[in-house]
Copies of this chain bind each other. A is one copy, B any other.
Amino acid sequence: MLRTHTCGELRIKDTGKEVTLCGWLQRARDLGGMTFIDLRDRYGITQLAFNMNTNKTLCTQARELGREYVLQITGKVTERSNKNPKMLTGDIEIIVSEVKVLNKAQTPPFTIEEDTDGGDELRMKYRYLDIRREVVRRNLELRHRMALETRKYLHDQQFIEVETPVLIKSTPEGARDFMVPSRMHAGQFYALPQSPQTFKQLLMVGGLDRYFQIVKCFRDEDLRADRQPEFTQIDCEMSFVTRDDVLETFEGLAKHLFKSVKGVDHVEFNRISYQDAMRFYGTDKPDTRFGMRFEELNELTKDKGFKVFDNAELVVGICTEGCAEYSRKQLDALTEWVQRPQIGAKGLVYVKYNPDGSFKSSVDKFFKQEQLKSWADVFSARPGDLLLILAGDTDATRKALGELRLEMGRRLELRDPDMYACLWVTDFPLLEWDEETQRFYAMHHPFTSPIREDIPLLDKDPGKVRANAYDMVINGVEIGGGSIRIFDRPLQEKMFEVLGFTPKEAQNQFGFLMQAFQFGAPPHGGVAFGFDRWCALFGGSETIRDYIAFPKNNAGRDVMIDSPSPVAPEQLKELHLKLITHNS
Residue numbers of A with Cβ under 8 A of B are 1-3, 6, 22, 24, 40-43, 68-70, 72, 102-106, 108, 126-132, 137, 140-141, 143-144, 147-148, 151, 155, 160-170, 172, 176, 178-192, 198-199, 202-203, 205-210, 216, 218, 220, 222-223, 229-230, 232, 239-242, 245, 487-488, 512, 516-523, 548-550, 552, 555-558, 560-568, 571, 573-580, 582
Closest 9 A-B residue pairs measured CB to CB? Answer: A131-B206, A105-B520, A169-B563, A188-B564, A182-B564, A68-B520, A42-B209, A2-B240, A128-B206
Count chain B CB atoms within 10 A of each CB in A182, A206, A552 and give the residue with the most: A206
* Other-chain residue from B182, B242, B517, B549 in contact with A162 (beta carbon distance below 8 A): B549
Which of the residues B42, B517, B577 comes within 8 Å of A207, measured between beta carbons?
B42
Cross-interface CB contact of A561 among B68, B102, B169, B550, cutoff 8 Å: B169
13 A/B residue pairs, CB under 8 Å, sorted by A: A3-B240, A42-B207, A70-B520, A103-B517, A105-B520, A140-B208, A166-B216, A168-B558, A172-B568, A180-B564, A187-B566, A188-B565, A577-B579
Pairwise interchain contact A180-B182, C-beta atoms closer than 8 A: no
Cα A481 to Cα B218 in complex, Å, equals 30
Given A2-B523, A105-B520, A128 and B167 contact (CB-CB distance below 8 Å): no
Partner of A563, one of B155, B167, B240, B242: B167
- Residues in B with CB closer than 8 Å to A556 are 182, 184-185
- Min CB distance A132 to B, Å, is 5
Q: What 6 additional pairs, Cβ within 8 angstroms, besides A137-B208, A165-B558?
A: A105-B519, A108-B519, A143-B163, A165-B230, A512-B560, A578-B580
What residues on B are CB-neighbors of A69 within 8 Å? 520
Residue of B nearest to A187 (CB): B579
Per the bound structure, the CA–CA distance linking A170 and B124 in Å amounts to: 20
Measured between beta carbons, the chain B residues less than 8 angstroms from A186 are 579, 582
User: Which chain B residues border A190 with CB–CB below 8 Å?
Assistant: 178, 563-564
Of residues A162, A167, A241, which shows the largest number of chain B Cβ atoms within 10 Å of its Cβ? A167
Q: How far is the CB of A226 from chain B (nearest CB, A)?
A: 17
Which residues from chain B contact A106 at a C-beta distance below 8 Å? Answer: 518-519
Bound Cα distance from A131 to B575, whole angstroms: 33
Please tell me if the beta carbons of B575 and A576 are within 8 angstroms of each other in the complex: no
Note all chain B residues with C-beta closer than 8 A to A137: 206-208
Which residues on the B side are within 8 Å of A160 (C-beta)?
A: 140-141, 144
Given A549-B162, A564-B190, A580 contacting B571 (CB threshold 8 A): no
- Could you say which residues of chain B place their CB within 8 Å of the CB of A488? 103
CB distance from A385 to the nearest CB of B (A): 47
A470 to chain B, nearest CB (A): 17
Residue in B165, B180, B565, B567 whose beta carbon sits within 8 Å of that of A192 in the complex: B180
Given contacts A2-B523, A168-B563, A550-B199, contact A208 B131 (CB under 8 A): yes
Quote the shortest CB–CB distance from A269 to chain B (angstroms).
19
Flag if B218 contacts A166 (CB, 8 Å). Answer: yes
Across the interface, which residues of B come within 8 angstroms of A222, CB to CB?
184
Alpha-carbon gap, A108 to B523, bound state (A): 19
- Give A511 Cβ to nearest chain B Cβ, in Å: 8
* A170–B567 CB distance below 8 A: yes
Query: Which B residues are CB-close (under 8 A) to A578?
Result: 577-580
Residue ID in chain B nearest A216 by CB atoms: B166
Residues of B within 8 A of A232 (CB): 163
Q: Which residues on the B side are within 8 Å of A141 (C-beta)?
A: 160
CB pair A209 B43 closer than 8 Å: yes
- For A147, list chain B residues within 8 Å (CB): 161
- For the complex, what is the distance from the CA of A395 to the CA of B20, rounded to whole Å? 45
Which residue in chain B gives the minimum CB-CB distance to A579? B187
Contacts of A161 in B (CB 8 A): 144, 147-148
Closest chain B residue to A248, Cβ basis: B1
**Most B CB atoms within 10 A — which of A1, A232, A518?**
A1
Residues of B contacting A2 in the complex (Cβ-Cβ under 8 angstroms): 240-242, 523
Interchain CB contact under 8 A, A549 and B163:
yes
Q: Are B70 and A522 in contact (CB under 8 A)?
A: yes
Chain B residues whose CB sits within 8 angstroms of the CB of A223 once the complex forms: 184
A1 is contacted by which of B70, B167, B241 (Cβ under 8 Å)? Answer: B241
With A105-B518, A128-B205, A220-B183 known as contacts, the answer to whether A564 contacts B169 (CB < 8 A) is yes
Cross-interface CB contact of A128 among B487, B516, B566, cutoff 8 Å: B516
Give the CA-CA distance A151 to B149 in the complex, in Å: 11
Complex alpha-carbon distance, A241 and B245, angstroms: 48
A185 to chain B, nearest CB (A): 5
Chain B residue with Cβ nearest A559: B512
Residues of chain B within 8 A (CB-CB) of A580 are 573, 576-578
Q: How far is the CB of A436 from chain B (nearest CB, A)?
A: 16
From A232, which residue of chain B is reached at the shortest CB distance? B163
From B41, B208, B550, contact of A165 by CB (8 A): B550
**Is A68 in contact with B519, judged by CB distance below 8 angstroms?**
yes
Residues of B within 8 A of A203 (CB): 128, 131, 549
Chain B residues, CB < 8 A from A184: 222-223, 555-556
Whether A185 contacts B564 by the Cβ 8 Å rule is yes
| Min CB–CB distance A560 → chain B (angstroms) | 6
Residues of B within 8 A of A571 (CB): 170, 172, 179
Q: Which residue of B lies closest to A169 (CB)?
A: B563
Question: Judging by beta carbons under 8 Å apart, are A180 and B179 in contact?
Answer: yes
Task: Name A186's closest neighbour in chain B (CB-CB).
Answer: B582
